[in-house]
Amino acid sequence: MVPLPNSENSPLLGLPKVSSSSGVNGEAPLRDEDKGDESSFQPERIRRVSSNNPPAKTLRSSITEGLTNLSSNLSSRMGLGQSTETTDVLADEETLPPNTPLYGSSRAAANSIREEIRRQSIANGGTDVELPDDASTVSRARTLKEIEDDYYLKTQQGFVEDAINFAEGSIPQSIMIATVIGCVCGFVAYVYYFILDSLLEFVWKTLPEKYVIDVWPEKYYVAWIPLVSVILSACVGSSIYLLGEPGDLAFTIKSVHEKVSYDTRLIMGSLTDLLVKKGYKDPSYIIPMVVASLFSIVAGGSLGPEAPLVAICAALAGLISRSVFKQRNTNIVRKHTFMGMAGALAAFFGVPLGGSLFALEVASRFGVEYFEHSMEAIFAGLICVVAFRSLAGLELEQIWATQDSPTILHCEPSKILLGLVLGCVGGFLAFLWANFHWRLMGLFGRLGLLDDNNTRALPRALVGSIGIISIGMLIPHTMFWGEWEVPVLARMEPAVDLPHVWPTSGLIGFEMDTCAKCLITGFAKLIAISFTVAGGFRGGFIFPFFTAGAAFGRALCFVFPSISPAIATLCIAAGINVAITRTALATSMILSFLAGEQMALPPILSASIASLFVTSYMPFIKSQIARSDIDFTLYYKQSKPCGSVVSIESFMTSPHLGRGPPKAARSPGSSAPSF
């Protein structure tokens, strides 16, 4: 790193002239007092290096004086108000302990100084280098020319050369690994699907026909619902307690964002330590998710198999990448993990493009951020669809279509505007559900059921089953995840057509045939989803939200008969799902394809976009964050005080959501500003 400008005061930062009397070229070790002084300032422990670095103490003193001149300018430019804590935070080690992050104008000033030093370095042919915390010497900065030479050496190879060398991250390598991951995940999805379908048939069809019908009095048939659900709910809790935490969609998303080193795993969160010790030799981490999710779904909970398949296939893809193909690069392993996620959703939905995009979108809150992995993930999704559907003997079909489909042959501009309104309605319903769910989780917490070690997994599952069973006995339409229940609700068919639950009449013979009953069904389904999640059941809530949207859409048609039932049900379903999962593009494609309504895509897309916008500040999946290697996104702010670019990290990317820094990170008596 080159020294600061030799003028008496830097025109950009107001730094005084720096003395370079000693230690300039000798790479002498830092003195003890210099190390301690530096650590209280450097929140990220980044040490700037070059062959012409000034001593740490002198640079430290210069920075402290420069902050005094810069803080007032920053305050006026950025609207943060006058701050008197800038130099205090840096000068007094008792104010903040070492390694405590800086916030507000202090952080802005520190970033401004780093940016000026970096700019001067690059202007003189050097670049930044990060050293470990215990490094006591500095090294020569690499020139940009050297970096460019490395870059061209890596990219000048042709397709044949990359294929022969199996070059890391190259197109030939991606094609090969995507094919392997797609085939493996397709086979795993088929096995999972076969087991699930067999269990559903056995528990809810074969057993009642053999042991209940014509054996029990007919008025007691409804007792089969609580009998089965209680037993299987106990199995859910017991499996989690005995086999360990299976993870969920949020864990998978969190793992996608995490950096991967030689000793970490890009898979489900709580199983990371176990897998590190075993080095991918034992794939038993998948068993807890498989067992818990199968029990959860067969018990009649309002969660589906999409999220378990995503977690399982993501874990398998990471295993294949690191253990079979020996990949270690963070972004390469992340790409292969996306391949597994895309394959799982593409195979399950039967929508190759929509399912693959869902995997890419769900990792972030506002669109596809890992865009560089899009093509490879979609290709893996295609391979997985071919493998899964071939093994299962299933065609790609529009499962909700009827003989009258498509019912929408033309799409007037007014329908797109209608989609905007319905998307806002769906977003509002999602807002109500999210608030109810957090309150229900709070209740479970007060009951002591949400321990981190899953020691209370069994009573938690049993308490959750109370809500599932109570609602299911009264309104059988709310049972199960809803993939095949959606057309029954959307067309208001009789309850006898419900495909999984038995008896379909329930306790009171409920039929969804009026506006009020449609509303009751929609809200009951949302409540059932919340109890299923709170009870620790494992599964996905994509189709359950589609089911609730179908019920609300039919209720709207009673109020406004001129609205097409297809538009009403699909748009509200899209609005609810997008508000929770943040997947506007994928949801639109999936709904229009499954319903066989191609011309409904524009209004569904407008509903999805509207819901995405109106619920932008209501994140539900907390692990959905902006990727760490993008400098400026929706959640970042750029300013140019004193002619230098300053990057201010927004707190929107963390759970406290723009309400300022965590209280634990503030010094006593400080008033760090909120963004």
Rounded average pLDDT per 10-residue block, the chain, 675 residues: 41 40 40 40 37 43 54 49 40 42 51 60 51 42 50 62 85 95 97 96 96 93 96 96 87 75 38 32 70 96 94 92 88 91 94 95 90 94 97 91 83 95 97 96 94 91 96 96 94 94 94 96 97 95 96 96 95 97 96 94 97 91 79 48 38 35 39 32
Give CATH 1.10.3080.10 domain extents, the chain: 171-392, 413-614
CATH number for the segment(s) 413-614 = 1.10.3080.10
Residue 68: which residues within 8 A CB-CB, separation 6 or more?
86, 87
Cis peptide before 406 (omega within 30 of 0): yes
Residue 245 CA to residue 255 CA, distance in Å, equals: 15
In this prediction, residue 52 carries a pLDDT of 44
Burial level of 270, CB count in 10 A (0-12/13-18/19+)? middle
In this prediction, residue 239 carries a pLDDT of 95
Q: Which two tokens stand for residue 620?
A: 């539900």
Of 186, 600, 607, the closest CA to residue 400 belongs to 600
Residue 577 CA to residue 546 CA, distance in Å, equals: 7
Residue 476 CA to residue 511 CA, distance in Å, equals: 9
In this prediction, residue 168 carries a pLDDT of 84
Of 210, 209, 256, 509, the closest CA to residue 377 belongs to 256
In this prediction, residue 132 carries a pLDDT of 46
In this prediction, residue 507 carries a pLDDT of 94
Question: On the CB side of 241, how many CA atoms lie within 13 Å of its CA?
Answer: 16
CA distances in angstroms from 218 to 449, 495, 511, listed in the order given: 37, 17, 19
Residue 211 CA to residue 196 CA, distance in Å, equals: 21
In this prediction, residue 163 carries a pLDDT of 87
Query: 484 in helix, strand or coil?
Result: coil
| Contact between 355 and 156 (Cβ < 8 Å) | no
What H or E segment, with its residue span, contains residue 585? Answer: helix 584-595
CATH number for the segment(s) 171-392 = 1.10.3080.10
